[in-house]
Amino acid sequence: MLPSDTIYSFFLIAQMSTSVTANSLLFMIYIYTFLIQPQLKKPIDWIFMHLTMANILNIIFHSMPEIMSSFGVKRFLDNIGCQIFLYIYRVTRGLSICTTSLLSVFQAITISPSHSKWARLKFKLSTWIFPSFLFFWVINMLIYIQVIRVMGAKLNFTMVGQGYVNAYCQSKKMNMRYPGPFVSSMVIRDLLFMALMIMSSLYMVGLLYRHHRRAQHIHSSSLSSQTSPENRATHTILLLVFCFVVFYFLHNLLTLFVLYRTEKNTRLESISGFLSTCYPTLCPFFLMKNNKMISKLLCFLSNMKMTFSWRAFSG
């Protein structure tokens, strides 16, 4: 194995370990909040939990074959294995875009002014969360049934032709055109949820800008120096949306280039895979920034460190 392959292998392991650990920690904190401290729970936490769960599944089912391949493992996945891994990866990636869009719309309605036309929807928001999750799962599972039909294990390692290829899997028939309904359903889903995500984000930016201008006009130190929890949550969600949109477009552009390129390039496929895992890797760290339980945990660990250091110094 080349030194560059070794470095890439450990990079993949580090990325997957970091992402899974961070998302799992965040997921467990939400579980702890709901079970032990229910007075702290908020409806939006359900959306955060769903997003972290989708991130965990996405990063595992995408990265495991890449890691095995980088260490030179042959025939890690057979036909059924390829179909399972690719199906779960594609479904969870679809869940990611749907859940991030829901998160953006949810927060936009939450912070909308009382005189806004969206204000009447605030009291119904919590009742929409679980039906939305069910809709997301059903629609993505139906869309990607096509993956099971067209994908299989790679038969040889020098592929030429247009089609999907990764470390262990490939389109069963290279140069095969995907059915129109399959492609159309993916495009419509992505355009719809991206449009909702971007429009709600622009709406939130407008609200934050007007709030900032109003605070400056009043010249109140209490308003200008303190940021409300809602505003902090909104900044975090806007950062998530921006991160998602950037990596989404970069990944899709490169994926289309690789898909319709006659000669396959493993480096380009690796870069495309890396871009697809950036969002689920960064997402939990954005969410942790404003999580009170994380702040308390870090404070507790800091106090423990100071206590042990003092005891060691005294001893």
Give domain limits for the chain.
4-215+230-302
Measured CA to CA, the distance from residue 277 to residue 257 in angstroms comes to 18
Q: What is the pTM of this model?
A: 0.84
CATH number of 4-215+230-302: 1.20.1070.10
Measured CA to CA, the distance from residue 105 to residue 44 in angstroms comes to 11
**315 residues of the chain, pLDDT tens digit each:** 556 667 778 888 898 999 999 999 999 988 988 888 888 788 889 999 999 999 999 999 988 888 888 787 888 888 888 889 999 999 999 999 999 999 999 999 888 887 777 777 888 888 999 999 999 999 999 999 988 888 877 776 555 455 566 777 877 665 555 667 777 888 899 999 999 999 999 989 888 888 777 766 665 444 444 566 777 788 888 999 999 999 999 988 888 777 766 666 667 777 887 888 899 999 988 888 777 666 666 665 566 656 665 665 555
**HSE of 14 in the Cβ direction (CA atoms, 13 Å)?**
6
Closest CA to 265 of 247, 273, 76, 171: 273
- With a CB cutoff of 8 Å and minimum separation 6, the contacts of 207 are 108, 111, 112, 113, 234
